[in-house]
């Protein structure tokens, strides 16, 4: 509160007291109740939501605590859950892990206008523990002029990225470091199958350069001219486009959605206020805020799309046409494992991988045919899909949440050794055929 407003309020109270009206209006001037929201959303999102919510519910004031998803479990495991009332973030694995610990209070039944699924993606969590509050779609940030200069058509699906003309011009986020990337890897594995999916990722990685955590935004890589294509989620790129960047965002045929979710802490002592905040975020007013041009999330309330430009991506329409068959709930349990496999197979020896794929592409171009045997060696997964479904193995990687720094264990070092052995064999094969 500013000094001016504080003094004005004091004068108002003094005047009303003199008139004998103070007791009558005192409840109207009571201090707003504080509502604590733990979140990982950006300042832009939080500022808009805070302003709109407090305008709609002047009896409450938001206390916003910012934590990365991998810190949220520890924070919410404190006594009284750290006095948090609501958790709001885009980290499905964190929400589910906390649900299994009994961290959430069941959300009130107020679902009018809200779908429980979109495509194959559940929007309402088990036991009504959490609900999707907005969506982000995976795809490609592209520079159309750069693609035209390379003679490459805009990609329609993931397999279009396996084009030798794109060598060194694809920006690929590192899944073990960048929170949104593990589901992106799994989208391809589900769509193309385990064997073919890893082979495709091997070739894409061999044509890419890696973007680690904290280095830059994928959109900046494309805007700056280093990349012609960047693998990302839409709202990061949409924010850049809204800021004037000459980019396009393309959704692949085999798409996937990453939900932001919202839940009420079981230990909250502000149940009424917490329910009001959840209701507002899911309301038409709240969803319109999330679709603001400076934010550009995908609303979970379908009716809001009628108020948005025709060019605004509508996942409900795409899902009705058969899109978005990616099962995020089915894949969530293996994302930590997938990120670890990707790290040892495609990141740890990335320079070598790039060299081998360049040599293979050159050899295939000279011969005028694909060398499937060598491709099979270069793109073979480190473990098969049955092994990847092992319950004990998966349990060891559920701790690997978005942004957490983990040291490789003995198993991962074994995968690294296997990858190195295969790459030596591929190098020998290429040398014999050169």
Which of these three, 265, 285, 320, is where a domain ends?
320
For residues 101 and 248, membership in a common domain is answered with no
Helical axes 410-433 vs 372-379, angle rounded to 10°: 160
Which of these three, 299, 320, 341, is where a domain ends?
320
* Token output for 302: 């379908």
Looking at the structure of the chain, the number of domains it has is 2
For residues 111 and 158, membership in a common domain is answered with no
pLDDT of the residue at 363: 97
For residues 303 and 250, membership in a common domain is answered with no
For residues 298 and 199, membership in a common domain is answered with no
Per-residue pLDDT tens over the stretch 111-129: 899 999 999 999 999 999 9
pLDDT of the residue at 404: 57
| CATH code, domain with 276 | 3.40.190.10
pLDDT of the residue at 25: 45
Which of these three, 270, 297, 320, is where a domain ends?
320
Burial of 205 (0-12, 13-18, 19+ CB in 10 A): buried
For residues 28 and 57, membership in a common domain is answered with yes
The stretches in the chain having pLDDT less than 50 are: 1-27
pLDDT of the residue at 219: 92
For residues 372 and 245, membership in a common domain is answered with yes
pLDDT of the residue at 322: 85
| Vertex 332 angle, CA 329 and 335, to 5° | 155
pLDDT of the residue at 13: 38
Give residue 113's domain range. 3-135+257-320
CA distances from 71 to 66, 97, 373 (A): 10, 13, 45
For residues 61 and 109, membership in a common domain is answered with yes
* Non-local CB neighbours of 126 within 8 Å, separated by 6+ positions: 99
Q: How far apart are CA 244 and CA 376, in angstroms?
A: 43
For residues 156 and 245, membership in a common domain is answered with yes
Q: How far apart are CA 240 and CA 294, in angstroms?
A: 9
pLDDT of the residue at 12: 36
For residues 192 and 102, membership in a common domain is answered with no
**SS3 string of 249-270?**
EECCCCCCEEEEEEEEECCCCC
pLDDT of the residue at 224: 94
Instruction: Please provide residue 348's backbone torsions phi and psi, each rounded to the nearest 5 degrees.
Output: -60, -35
The DSSP letter of residue 28 is: G
Pairing of strands 117-118, 229-233: unpaired
Q: How far apart are CA 97 and CA 103, in angstroms?
A: 9
Whether the CB-CB separation of 288 and 137 falls below 8 Å is answered with no
């Amino acid at each position: 509160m500013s000094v001016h407003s504080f003094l004005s309020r004091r004068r108002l109270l003094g005047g009303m007291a003199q008139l004998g009206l103070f007791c009558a209006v005192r409840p109207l001037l009571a201090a707003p109740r504080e509502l604590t929201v733990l979140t990982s959303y950006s300042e832009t999102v939080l500022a808009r939501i805070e302003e709109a919510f407090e305008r709609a519910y002047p009896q409450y004031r938001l206390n916003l605590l910012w934590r990365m998803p991998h810190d949220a479990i520890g924070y919410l495991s404190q006594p009284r859950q750290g006095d948090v009332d609501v958790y709001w973030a885009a980290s499905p694995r964190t929400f589910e892990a906390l649900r299994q610990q009994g961290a959430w209070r069941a959300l009130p039944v107020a679902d009018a206008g809200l779908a429980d699924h979109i495509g194959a993606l559940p929007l309402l969590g088990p036991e009504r523990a959490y609900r999707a509050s907005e969506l982000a779609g995976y795809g490609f940030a592209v520079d159309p002029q750069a693609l035209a200069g390379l003679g490459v058509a805009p990609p329609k699906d993931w397999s279009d990225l396996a084009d030798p003309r794109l060598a060194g011009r694809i920006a690929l986020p590192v899944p073990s470091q960048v929170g949104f990337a593990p589901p992106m890897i799994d989208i391809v594995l589900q769509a193309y199958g385990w064997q073919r999916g890893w082979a495709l990722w091997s070739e894409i990685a061999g044509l890419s350069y890696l973007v680690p955590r904290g280095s830059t935004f994928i959109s900046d890589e494309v805007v700056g001219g280093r990349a012609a294509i960047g693998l990302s989620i839409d709202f990061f790129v949409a924010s850049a486009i809204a800021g004037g960047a000459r980019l396009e965002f393309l959704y692949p045929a085999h798409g996937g959605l990453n939900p932001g979710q919202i839940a009420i802490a079981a230990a909250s002592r502000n149940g009424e206020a917490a329910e009001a905040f959840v209701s507002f975020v899911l309301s038409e007013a709240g969803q319109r805020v999330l679709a603001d041009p400076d934010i550009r999330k995908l609303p979970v309330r379908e009716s809001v799309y009628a108020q948005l430009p025709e060019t605004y991506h509508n996942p409900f329409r795409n899902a009705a046409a058969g899109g978005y068959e990616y099962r995020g709930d089915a894949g969530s349990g293996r994302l930590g494992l997938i990120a670890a496999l990707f790290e040892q197979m495609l990141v740890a020896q990335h320079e070598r991988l790039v060299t081998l794929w360049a040599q293979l592409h050159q050899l295939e171009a000279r011969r005028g045919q694909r060398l499937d045997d060598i491709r099979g060696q270069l793109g073979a997964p480190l473990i098969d899909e049955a092994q990847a479904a092992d319950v004990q193995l998966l349990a060891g990687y559920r701790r690997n949440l978005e942004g957490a720094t983990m040291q490789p264990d003995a198993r991962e070092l074994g995968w690294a050794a296997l990858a190195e052995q295969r790459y030596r064999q591929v190098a020998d094969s290429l040398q014999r055929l050169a």
